[in-house]
Amino acid sequence: MSALTLDNIAALPGNAALQTLRQQAADTYTRTGLPGKRDEDWKYTDISRLTAALGESWWTTSEPQTVDINDVAAIEDLDAYRLVFVAGRFQAKQSNIPAGVQLLPLAELLNSDAHEDAHCLFKLDESAPLFNGLLAANSALASDGLCACIREGIKLDKPLYVVHVGNSTAHVLSGLMLGANAEATLIEHFVGTDSSAASLSNIATYVRLQDNASLTHYRLQLESDKQLHVGRVEVKQARDSRYTLHAVELGGSLSRADIIINLSEPGASCDLNGLFVGSGRQHIDHHTRIDHNAPHCRSRENYRSVLDGRSHAVFNGKIVVAEGAIKTDSAQSNANLLLSKNAEIDTKPELEIYNDDVKCAHGVTVGQLDKNQLFYLKSRGLPEDEARQLLTFAFADEVLVGMKIKAVRRFIEKEAFAKLPNLSDLEGMLT
Amino acid sequence: MLKVKNLHASVDGKKILKGINLEIGAGEVHAIMGPNGSGKSTLSNIIAGRDGYEVTAGSISYKGKDLLAMEPEERAWEGVFLAFQYPVEIAGVNNTYMLKAGVNAKRKHQGEQELDAIDFMQLVKEKAKMVELDQSFLSRGVNEGFSGGEKKRNEIFQMAVLEPSLALLDETDSGLDIDALRIVANGVNKLRREERSIVMVTHYQRLLDYIEPDFVHVLADGKILKSGDKSLALELESRGYDWVKEEEADRIKAA
């Protein structure tokens, strides 16, 4: 394997100290390489497809392109602060930054030599859960991202809507910090424009929530057909903080996300909702890891997948309850609907519990549509196809009902259902 | 309307129905009574077209057509309706949407124009009132989180909207307290029409105090052993089912 070198990173933003951090990350990547099939966490996801498709070109951030955000299938009727990234670079002209909060594109922050606050995002911890070479490559190669600090007690009046326009190789690194009692909503939307182009989106997002802070995070992956997408979301939660994730996987040829939640102080709580809709030969993989490291923390996890064609999904949900984390309240559910006999799901709940005083529920289902429900609908006069579609949509929609922003929910319903054998009129179909 | 001839059926190789003969004329109300496990629900499920039953002999004709050759939805379009013994919960599917899809599929089948959302809404509101169903139920998921009584009332509401010509009520009275039973029965009575036949499958004579049948049949061990008018139901209430079975045994012996 050839080495990721200074040549690849010299042109990237950051002062000498940061270049050193980038070089260290590059060395780490060169040492670890890409995860392989022997790696238990990558058993079902063959990332060699990345080099097969792109060779070593994925090390190089694509040249900037001009994309008009109005030409992109963005969410309509969304009242939000829109922040646009094209090919991993912030587009100031197409964006509006909220006033009164500390929010800057990463590159701008790195190029203004005044402070080195953002450097901590580049420091790698190889002992972190699900650490891998792609994350090291992200640190070495990150061209831009979003750095925001919502100060104590601030409630952001509108969501941050971050649109990443893909079809280009981009290494994006973002950091979001919410001070005590702060509240915000982050919508990350990954979207492509060219269905024939293959490249890599390598996206890392770090979140820190201080005491009683609350973040709702929509992570919407709608890359174009051939795009490869790898992502990592790492959240550290202080006392009584709340984190809600709505992860939706619709696009790309291969998409992998690692979601790592550290409930580090008492009373912290997280809700992870995931929906995969796979068709064709799509491969979708989420590895989630929730660490209950303090007493009285709560976690809820609800992942669903609807798989058609020859699509393949992987769900691995690991929950670790530490020794002192008494009164842990945790529930995990993963339900999978296979619409075709060639579709495949590998699902694995993993619980590691190191004390007695906990409540941990988990359940997995894999199957086809419920026969009783199907008969019920048919007995009311619905044709078989329509009944099947209706049940399929209702199954998928169950994880979307928690989305409080209606414009996002409607957008995702439309995009998700468009991938499945379709009814003409969705109006009023679901509750 | 409906002619069941010498119907034999089994489930997983086990014989459940052993030669049912039953004729139901337009506008008639029939009660089919019998002990648990006699085949009452099997009969209504076969008429509605549920999977998992093997008809080994006999036939069912409905309005002169071979009912057994039809898909469940085709039966619905032809006017067959089953009120389920255990109504199915379908989380997320809007109750009204389901009915609109059903009604419009039927109208399409009959060559009628489909109802638009406004006309349909007006229709369901009327019908909900008729069966005393709170309007909040209209926009909820199908039977989602409904109590037992609410589910049964929702079945009768659906019957009101779908306007069947043959309604099968499969133990619609089971599990209801008196007040709920009265509401459900009133709903059914309001839906009685000259051309609409109703078959009530029940365990309890109590239902027949509220919905008066024209005919009562006793189904036991997969056969209709006795038929009569509503006085038969009263006799069953006081004497149980055993005497009917004994009569049948005597009859077989004599033959």
Q: Which residue of B lies nearest to A400 if distances are taken between CA atoms? A: B92
- Partners of B31 in the β-ladder: B200, B216
* pLDDT over 70 at A113, yes or no: no
Q: What pLDDT sits at residue A1?
A: 47
* pLDDT over 50 at A417, yes or no: yes
Confidence of residue B87 (pLDDT cuts 50, 70, 90): very high
The two three-digit tokens of residue A110, written as one number: 């790195």
CA A5/CA A23 separation, integer angstroms: 7
* pLDDT over 90 at B236, yes or no: no
**Size (chain A), residues:** 431
* pLDDT over 70 at B100, yes or no: yes
Q: Which amino acid is at B89?
A: E
Closest by CA to B172, choosing from B195, B194, B151, is B151
CA B217/CA B229 separation, integer angstroms: 8
B179-216 pLDDT tens trace: 989 999 999 999 999 999 999 999 888 899 999 999 99
Q: Is A381 at the interface with chain B, CB within 8 A? A: yes
Q: Is A373 at the interface with chain B, CB within 8 A? A: yes
Count CA atoms within 13 Å of residue A51 on its CB side: 11
A169-224 pLDDT tens trace: 999 999 999 999 999 999 999 999 887 888 999 999 999 999 999 999 999 999 99
* B contact set with A (CB within 8 A): 48-51, 71-73, 75-77, 81-82, 84, 87-88, 90-94, 96-103, 105-106, 117, 139-142, 144, 158, 162
Q: B227 and B215 in contact (C-beta within 8 Å)? A: yes
A391-406 pLDDT tens trace: 999 999 999 999 999 9
Q: Which residue of B lies nearest to A424 if distances are taken between CA atoms? A: B101
Closest by CA to A35, choosing from A135, A120, A117, is A135
Complex ipTM: 0.96
B57-77 pLDDT tens trace: 999 999 999 999 999 999 999
Q: Which residue of A lies nearest to B159 if distances are taken between CA atoms? A: A380
Q: What pLDDT sits at residue B175?
A: 85
- Can you say whether residue B192 is alpha, beta or left, with left for phi > 0 and alpha for psi between -120 and 50 degrees? beta
**pLDDT above 70 coverage of chain A, percent:** 97
* pLDDT over 80 at A431, yes or no: no
Q: How far is A392 from chain B (nearest CA, A)?
A: 10
Sign for the CA dihedral angle at B179, B182, B187, B190 comes to negative
Judge: B84–A382 Cβ closer than 8 Å, yes or no.
no
Q: What is the dihedral of CA A397, A277, A263, A106, to 10 degrees?
A: -120
Q: What pLDDT sits at residue A143?
A: 92
Confidence of residue A72 (pLDDT cuts 50, 70, 90): confident
Judge: B73–A427 Cβ closer than 8 Å, yes or no.
no
* pLDDT over 90 at A5, yes or no: no
Q: Given the DSSP bridges, would you call strands B2-11 and B54-62 parallel, antiparallel or unpaired?
A: antiparallel
In chain A, residues 62-91 whose CB comes closer than 8 Å to chain B? none
Average pLDDT over chain A reads 93
Q: What pLDDT sits at residue B242?
A: 87
* pLDDT over 50 at A78, yes or no: yes
Q: What integer is the mean pLDDT of A408-424?
A: 86
């992987």: which residue's tokens? A314
Find which of B41, B88, B162 to mutate to test the A interface (most A CBs within 10 Å of its CB). Answer: B88
Confidence of residue A114 (pLDDT cuts 50, 70, 90): low
Confidence of residue B160 (pLDDT cuts 50, 70, 90): very high
Q: What pLDDT sits at residue A378?
A: 97
**Of the candidates A379, A384, A428, which has its C-beta nearest B94's C-beta?**
A428
Q: How far is A277 from chain B (nearest CA, A)?
A: 17
CA A345/CA A308 separation, integer angstroms: 11
Of A32-46, A75-89, B234-248, where does mean pLDDT reach its minimum?
B234-248
Confidence of residue A423 (pLDDT cuts 50, 70, 90): low
Which residues in chain B touch residue A390, judged by CB atoms under 8 angstroms apart? Answer: 93, 97-98, 101
Of A48-62, A295-309, B21-35, B157-171, where does mean pLDDT reach its minimum?
A48-62
Closest by CA to A359, choosing from A322, A318, A326, A329, is A329
Q: What integer is the mean pLDDT of A363-369?
A: 93
Q: What integer is the mean pLDDT of A339-363?
A: 95
DSSP helix/strand/coil, B255: coil
Q: What integer is the mean pLDDT of B12-32?
A: 96
Q: What pLDDT sits at residue A170?
A: 93
A283-339 pLDDT tens trace: 999 999 999 999 999 999 999 999 999 999 999 999 999 999 999 999 999 999 999
Judge: B94–A431 Cβ closer than 8 Å, yes or no.
yes
Q: How far is B188 from chain A (nearest CA, A)?
A: 18
Q: What pLDDT sits at residue B131?
A: 87
Q: What pLDDT sits at residue A426?
A: 62
Judge: B139–A430 Cβ closer than 8 Å, yes or no.
no
- The CATH code of the domain at B2-254 is 3.40.50.300
Average pLDDT over chain B reads 93
Main-chain phi, psi angles of A266, to 5 degrees = -55, 145
Of A89-98, A108-117, A172-181, A306-315, where does mean pLDDT reach its minimum?
A108-117
* pLDDT over 90 at B14, yes or no: yes
Residue A243 burial by Cβ neighbours in a 10 Å radius (0-12, 13-18, 19+)? buried
